[in-house]
Amino acid sequence: MSRLQGKTVVITGASGGLGMEMAKQAAAEGARLILLARRLDRLEEVKEMLHRTFAAEVHIFAVDISQKEAVEEVFSKIYEEVSRIDILVNNAGFGIFKEAREAKWEETQAMFNVNVLGLILCTQMVIPHMQARRSGHIINIASQAGKLATPKSSVYAATKHAVLGYTNSLRMEMARAGVYVTAVNPGPIATDFFAVADPSGSYAKNVARWMLKPEQVAKEVVKAMGTNKREINLPRWMNAGSIIYMLFPRLVERVGRQAFFKK
């Protein structure tokens, strides 16, 4: 029997890309899925596909995770329907790549509201229940940008630095109750993320050879579900760059400046 058989997995941002791929792979392992996203029509398509392919039990809820009252209402409904959440995957997020002087305040607020505050809000919805049961797993999708910031991603990188800070503190707090907390730090993934982040398409074109496949990232996340995995860093060579940056920041900024500006 699969480790995820009968486990309830909540995934935010599940209507496409990495979120949908994680849902597919978790469904293949027998998980019960709770999928959250803003677009109900896309969620319905994903639900139908998962039911048809895996005969999976899937519950869907349309919600904007930046809206506190809406999130509280949705999680209340979730607990009415399934009584417990075993794994929460905070996947919802987006980026807009612009130099700091060009960043619009509305875009800055929106990124923090979704990437940081929405993630924290969803996490707060499960913390008391997991602590009371003394079991559970919270998985936060951060980014290599949270370890190594580059030009044209100042605000996005700031949100992911915040996610990593929150995740690292949360991990120590939740360990006392036997609840696992994992940070996932992928490099660029071949999804629709870049349609919003860089509508010109130049960044995706420049890093195409290094793009991760969502299936690859999802495989590592699903494999870690229910285990005490501290971090998932992909690709490994990019994470090595982040480590070198922590040791020799001035050198990396000087040597890598030209490449970093290719966004």
Give catalytic residue positions.
156
Q: Contact 79/50 with Cβ under 8 angstroms? A: no
Could you identify the residue written with the tokens 């030009």? 151
- Compute the half-sphere exposure of residue 73: CA atoms within 13 Å on the CB side of its CA: 10
Q: Contact 198/183 with Cβ under 8 angstroms? A: no
Q: Contact 32/8 with Cβ under 8 angstroms? A: yes
- Compute the half-sphere exposure of residue 14: CA atoms within 13 Å on the CB side of its CA: 31
Burial class (CB in 10 A: 0-12, 13-18, 19+), 211: middle
- H or E, element range at 34: strand 32-37
